[in-house]
């Protein structure tokens, strides 16, 4: 998802047609739930912020996400926390692992992630009910 010119993202604000069975296909139960939960201005505004800042550093949103999780989140390896990597093919897996080997993000990218969270936290679902 995003609008700010990040070409590697599959979903865009205003999009109304989705591949059958995809995560936002409203004809399916899971797609309908995902669409209702995430398809709103708060999430797209947050992604616009992240994409614009990431682009200044030639970073993808996927890379920013993985590096933020590894270096800037509250995950703690000493407590057994870990990042679970998924991939649809070997090239995707190798890219994710390469990105995880990179260092901390530039301060303005971390700031964009913080701003994005501030944008969505009011509409973000609670996972611990």
Instruction: State the DSSP code for 10.
Output: S
The string of pLDDT tens digits covering residues 28-78 is 999 999 888 889 999 999 999 999 999 999 999 999 999 999 999 999 999
- Is the pLDDT at 8 greater than 60? The verdict is no
Whether the pTM exceeds 0.95: the reply is: no
- Quick check: 52 and 60 in contact, CB under 8 A? no
Q: Which residues contact 27 (CB under 8 A, 6 or more apart)?
A: 20
pLDDT confidence tier of residue 2, bands split at 50, 70 and 90: very low
Which residues contact residue 26 at a Cβ distance below 8 angstroms, ignoring those fewer than 6 apart?
18, 32, 35
List the chain domain ranges. Answer: 29-120
The pLDDT value recorded for residue 58 is 97
């Amino acid at each position: 998802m995003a609008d700010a010119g990040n070409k590697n993202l599959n979903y865009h604000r205003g999009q109304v047609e989705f591949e059958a069975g995809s995560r936002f296909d409203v004809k399916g139960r899971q797609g309908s739930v995902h669409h209702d939960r995430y398809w709103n201005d708060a999430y797209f505004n947050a992604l616009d912020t992240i994409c614009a800042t990431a682009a200044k550093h030639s970073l993808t949103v996927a890379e920013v996400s993985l590096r933020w999780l590894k270096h800037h989140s509250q995950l703690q390896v000493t407590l057994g926390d870990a990042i679970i990597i998924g991939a649809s093919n070997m090239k995707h897996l190798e890219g994710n692992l390469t990105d995880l080997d990179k260092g901390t993000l530039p301060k303005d990218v971390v700031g964009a992630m913080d701003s994005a969270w501030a944008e969505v936290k009011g509409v973000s679902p609670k996972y611990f009910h």
